[in-house]
């Protein structure tokens, strides 16, 4: 399984370099005050979390699935390597984003506090995990090209739902204003439930993907 994870890392190395430069560039813009730090962190986190989905396009081009099935590997190993690669990206991204948030706070840059930046990191990681939870099984089931339209739906539907909740939630009794009344650390704890829920759903997503691969003909 380690070799499969290393394969994904090597395949995506050019993309990873691009995203590193992308992240540093936006961090620089945040330092200069062009963008708010919380927006930069949230946007970068969601974009980079889509990276594991790109692996499917390279696999399809190289006919990797057929070759991989000829190896003495079980479906659980093949699928598990992709999910572990996703978790590895998540851990690295969490560390980098946290260091950026601390650096911006120490440099006294931006209007957001450290707690607000950490809340942005946790919230965006929850959104990123939601995307991969849904998209990884779809990519295994439909392939990267046929699953691509669903990616836009999975990305935009939560943002539209959040906008509608913020706009009309008060009238429906679903307002999020209670977060403003909580102490900062308590509010941060509530927001931390988002990535935890995403991780729990990642386990369910893994089981669904294993079932799909078991039944799929290559």
Give Cβ neighbours of residue 166 (< 8 Å, ≥ 6 apart). 176
Mean pLDDT score of the chain, rounded to an integer? 79
| Number of compact structural domains in the chain | 1
Instruction: Check the CA dihedral 75-80-85-89 and report its sign.
Output: positive
Tell me the per-residue pLDDT of 12-33, one tens digit each, with 9 for 90 and over: 877 777 777 877 777 777 667 6
Q: What is the pLDDT of residue 101?
A: 75
Indicate the pTM of the whole model.
0.81
Q: Between the CA atoms of 107, 49, 204 and 122, what dihedral angle is there, to the nearest 10 degrees? A: 20
Q: How is residue 178 written in tokens?
A: 């209670």
Spatial separation of the C-alpha atoms in residues 39 and 69, rounded to whole Å: 42
Range of the domain at 173: 2-215
With 60 as the cut, is the pLDDT of residue 196 above it?
yes
With bands split at pLDDT 50, 70 and 90, how would you rate the model's confidence at 3? Answer: confident
Q: What is the pLDDT of residues 65-119, one digit of tens each?
A: 778 877 787 888 889 999 999 888 888 888 877 887 777 777 666 556 777 778 8
For 177, the token pair is 């204003």
């Amino acid at each position: 399984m380690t070799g499969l994870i290393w394969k994904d890392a090597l395949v995506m190395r050019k993309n990873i370099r691009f995203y590193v430069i992308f992240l540093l560039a936006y961090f620089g813009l945040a330092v200069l005050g062009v963008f708010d730090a919380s927006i930069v962190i949230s946007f970068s986190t969601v974009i980079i979390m889509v990276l594991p989905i790109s692996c499917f396009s390279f696999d399809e081009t190289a006919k990797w699935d057929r070759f991989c099935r000829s190896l003495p590997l079980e479906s659980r190993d093949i699928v598990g390597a992709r999910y572990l690669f996703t978790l590895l990206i998540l851990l690295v991204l969490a560390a980098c984003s946290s260091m950026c948030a601390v650096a911006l706070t120490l440099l006294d840059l931006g209007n957001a506090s450290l707690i607000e930046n950490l809340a942005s990191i946790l919230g965006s990681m929850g959104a990123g995990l939601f995307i991969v939870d849904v998209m990884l099984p779809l990519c295994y089931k439909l392939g990267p090209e046929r699953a691509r339209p669903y990616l836009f739906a999975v990305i935009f539907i939560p943002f539209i739902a959040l906008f509608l909740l913020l706009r009309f939630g008060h009238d429906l009794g679903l307002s999020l204003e209670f977060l403003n009344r909580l102490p900062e650390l308590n509010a941060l704890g509530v927001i931390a439930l988002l990535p935890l829920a995403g991780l729990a759903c990642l386990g369910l997503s893994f089981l669904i993907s294993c079932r799909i691969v078991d039944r799929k003909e290559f």
